[in-house]
Amino acid sequence: MTQVEIFTDGAARGNPGPGGFGTVMRFTDSAGRVHEKELSQGYERTTNNRMELMAVIAGLEALKRPCEITLYSDSQYVVNAFNQHWVEGWLKRGWKNASKQPVKNVDLWKRLLAAKAPHQVEFVWVKGHAGHAENERCDELATAAADGEGRIEDAGFEG
């Protein structure tokens, strides 16, 4: 199985406000060549958590075959949802959290689960704004997308 590293970050100017995500994908081919791809998109009105999710979704959806992925995020919201098995509880409770309230951003969580399904994914938390080169690059991509031209509507955002 191809091994891929995915680095992600989301940003919002105000919460809600204009936002964006940045994703860096990297793998080494059988000849030892490193391939890297950057993805980003800005949105007119969204939240930071939605952009953190979109960064992960964009990376997973860009893959064309099942892969073994190490996914790095500075979002404890994203990482803990898998590493602390929150998602499993949400599914058992019909997309309700432990307090029996509806899970926020369920549209994106469902999309993320569908995108993740064919892959083996390990989620790794990295401290944001702490000099982690790929996380810093994702932050640059996300903030540039949030501040730039070509922002689109976040169709699932309710706020």
Query: How many CA atoms are closer than 13 Å to the CA of 129, on its beta-carbon side?
Result: 3
User: What's the Cα-to-Cα distance from 150 to each of 38, 40, 130, 145, 146, rounded to whole Å?
Assistant: 17, 11, 29, 8, 9
Q: pTM of this prediction?
A: 0.96
- Which positions are annotated as active-site residues? 9-10, 52, 74, 129, 139
Q: Residues forming the annotated binding site for Mg(2+)?
A: 9, 52, 74, 139
* Binding residue ranges: 9, 52, 74, 139
Distance CA 73, CA 90 (A): 21
- The tokens 């690059």 sit on which residue? 137
Domain ranges of the chain: 2-147
CATH architecture of the domain with range 2-147? 2-Layer Sandwich (3.30)
Per-residue pLDDT of the chain (159 residues; tens, 9 = 90+): 899 999 999 999 999 999 999 999 999 999 999 999 999 999 999 999 999 999 999 999 999 999 999 999 999 999 999 999 999 999 999 999 999 999 999 999 999 999 999 999 999 999 988 889 999 999 999 999 999 999 999 999 987
